[in-house]
Amino acid sequence: MSSHRIHSVRFYNPEPSAIHCICYEKHTKRLSLSRSDNSIEVWDLAHTPHVDRVIQSSNDISVESLVWSNGRLFSSGLNGMVTEYDLLTLLPKYSTPVTSGACWCLAVDHQNTTIAAGTEDGYINLFQIVDDSIMYDKILDKQEGRIMCLAWEVSGERIVTGSEDAVRIWNVKTGHAIHKMTTGRAMTNRPTIVWCVTVTDDFTIITGDSRGKLSMWDGNSGTSIASHQSHKADVLCVSLDDQQTTVYAAGVDPLIATFERIQLKSDSNKWVRSIQRRIHDHDVRALAYCDGKLFSGGVDGYLALSSYPPKVLLRYPPLSSSSVCLAPKARCVLLRYAKYLELWRLGDTQGWQSDHSQHTLPLSQDVVKLVQLHSKDSQHIRCASVSGDARWIAYSTDSLFRLYSLDLDTDEKEPRLTRVSGLSAECNAVHCAQFSSDSSLLVCATNLCTLVVFELSEDAGPNLAHTFSPHSDKLMTDIIHLITVSPDNEYIVAADRKSNIVVWSSGKHYCSLPKYQCAPTAMAVQPHTNHLVVVYCDHKIVEFDLDKRKYTKFSRKLSESHPKQWLARSFPVSNIVFDPTNSNVILMHDDSNICVIDKFKNLPSPEAKIPRLVTSHSHPAHDTGDNSNQYPPSNTPQHAFHVVKKYKHLVYLGSVGDGELVAVEVNPLMLTENLPPPLKQKHFGAM
């Protein structure tokens, strides 16, 4: 691989959104979480954890609880509605009101037939789950105060609720409370709020409350079993493991405490404190146990994965690679924030000659912010794209799609931005948009499951060239999340979440790639060769010759000998870049590493460790820690795979020409500097 100048873009500072709740469905291996901006993320955990799709809720609809039922996703919030979402259009299907006020919590029974909703005024609403909706069934007796949490007993005959100063057990058939267990108070004038509850198969009830106590109750007799002062502040969430012998708890005190149930000689059980973990520095609001791993999230916005033994800790940042788009010919970069876009012109180092002693090159021309474009009515922006010459900018929300022409050569002080009208009515909102490399085509995947292609002209404006219906043609079955156009505009390639990768040429279906078991996370077409490179979420790499409609020789050889260390990586590949000076070199990156693949070199054995490229410019701070042991350093890698470890949160990597790359990274400190202060705790030896 030849040397490159890298533009390190560090002024992208998106505001992280706190995680409010997490829900996991075991048989589909999907995890859903809601954030403070009212968005809902659906994660695929079947292979490498990654965001499968995002539902952007409107600003006036909060999401306080999420539940799964046979692949269907439901939510509730302060608007007093139970909402089901269409996971294909990423929009609400319908909303059903609950009785009296806000809906704080939801729970689905173990038979997946009934949803229970707890409300502000103390009502438990029951809804029957039918084929295409939910149907109101009944309400149970009104209790005093709001219901903050609830859980079903395994038989579906009883429900446990938590509220102020009490835990109640309800008979579903009669609608009456059969037990009321009082929690007690830490202070006489301050009520104890039961924030979370979970129930084991033998009807042991476990609750966490505002005193920082984790309590165990016998649901059959309505008596207390044990109470542990597990935390110094409110316990906001609890989670059981699959065997129901271990419970995890966390909250305002971010310590994740573990309690295990042990068997005593007298045939009785006892819950004892086990290991504890401090993964987050701020409040932990949600926990979910997923197939041997514990997922946690809270105010800092990170989704953390941990397990012990073996000791594993991964933190997935609240960032998306699709939030950055590059205009190579104009040397501009488009940064997407929640409700606005920024277009920046990159700096330049012309006139400066780098040598081996220089780590940073001074700029002869500073970066300039050219445009800031706000969305209509401050709606959340779902996707955005900029053409290669930066003369076109497109963005979409859930209800509208906008295309703008940009004149950078105007005599005015600021560039002229003009909205383009006359777009197809079918293209009212899109999930994904991509310009061709010569800026003459715009390809959009709409929320109506169609793919529309516009021909762009500065004089005539956009012209609808083609409309493809992959769902109607039975070519695809899920939402399109990846689109790429070959550099010669001959091929348009799209991929959906069910691993259907379809190629169109000359306005008609050209071919489809063999279907794989998991979804692709990145794909790109190499210039001059028209080789399509695809990376799947289990890190399998394929290279497909579009002209010949078959896998390349390199791809067939690689399919038999993927390095095991590469397949075991914990972060998905988010982007693919080709070296314009060497057609044999492919660059791929994830959250922190850049993987360099040289097809000219021999493939390593599957058991071999992937070397880490070390140069004279490598900073020692980036080569310390666990990665130094995982990836042995090397100045001259002998095999096709090697990695570059240089970044913390690498959001995007792209090429702007011969010998120049753009790396957009986010400093982890920038994600936490605006967070509210954490719980103040006294540490030994500190003032």
Task: Give the model's pLDDT for residue 620.
Answer: 44
What's the chain's Rg over C-alpha atoms?
A: 27
Same fold, 60-316 and 322-349+365-468: yes
Beta pairing, strands 401-407 & 416-420? antiparallel
Task: Give the model's pLDDT for residue 625.
Answer: 39
Contact 219, 167 (CB under 8 A): no
Whether residue 623 is predicted with pLDDT greater than 50 in this model: the reply is no
Beta pairing, strands 480-485 & 463-468? unpaired
User: The pTM is what?
Assistant: 0.94
- In tens, the pLDDT along 347-357 reads 887 655 555 44
Of 355 and 456, more confident: 456
For residues 424-439, give the mean pLDDT: 90
- In tens, the pLDDT along 608-620 reads 999 988 755 555 4
Strands (E), 439-525: 441-446, 451-455, 463-468, 480-485, 492-496, 501-505, 508-512, 520-525
Beta pairing, strands 660-665 & 5-9? parallel
With CA atoms as reference, report the closest residue to 199 among 245, 153, 261, 246: 153
CATH topology of domain 322-349+365-468: Methylamine Dehydrogenase; Chain H (2.130.10)
Contact 652, 666 (CB under 8 A): no
Query: What percent of the chain has a predicted confidence (pLDDT) above 90?
Result: 79
Whether residue 1 is predicted with pLDDT greater than 80 in this model: the reply is no
Task: Give the model's pLDDT for residue 425.
Answer: 74
Question: Which range, 455-459, 620-624, 663-667, has the best average confidence (pLDDT)?
Answer: 663-667
Q: For tokens 């996991």, what's the residue? A: 24
For domain 60-316, the CATH superfamily is YVTN repeat-like/Quinoprotein amine dehydrogenase (2.130.10.10)
The DSSP code for 193 is B
- In tens, the pLDDT along 136-169 reads 999 999 998 999 999 999 999 999 999 999 999 9
Task: Give the model's pLDDT for residue 637.
Answer: 77
Determine the Cα–Cα distance for residues 601 and 610; give it in Å rounded to an integer: 14
Determine the Cα–Cα distance for residues 15 and 319; give it in Å rounded to an integer: 10
- In tens, the pLDDT along 467-501 reads 999 999 999 999 999 999 999 999 999 999 999 99
For residues 456-461, give the mean pLDDT: 84
For residues 374-380, give the mean pLDDT: 92
Determine the Cα–Cα distance for residues 537 and 257; give it in Å rounded to an integer: 32
Task: Give the model's pLDDT for residue 634.
Answer: 73
Q: What are the residue ranges spanned by the domains of the chain?
A: 1-16+521-619+628-680, 60-316, 322-349+365-468
Whether residue 622 is predicted with pLDDT greater than 60 in this model: the reply is no
Task: Give the model's pLDDT for residue 626.
Answer: 43
Alpha carbon dihedral 308, 309, 310, 313, in 10-degree steps, equals: 0
Determine the Cα–Cα distance for residues 12 and 245; give it in Å rounded to an integer: 44
Start-to-end C-alpha separation, the chain: 52
540: Cβ contacts below 8 Å, ≥ 6 apart: 516, 559, 562, 567
Whether residue 686 is predicted with pLDDT greater than 70 in this model: the reply is no
Whether residue 544 is predicted with pLDDT greater than 90 in this model: the reply is yes
Task: Give the model's pLDDT for residue 17.
Answer: 94
- Side-chain half-sphere CA neighbours of 646 within 13 A: 20
Q: Which range has the worst mean pLDDT, 105-114, 237-246, 474-483, 637-646?
A: 637-646
Query: What percent of the chain has a predicted confidence (pLDDT) above 70?
Result: 94
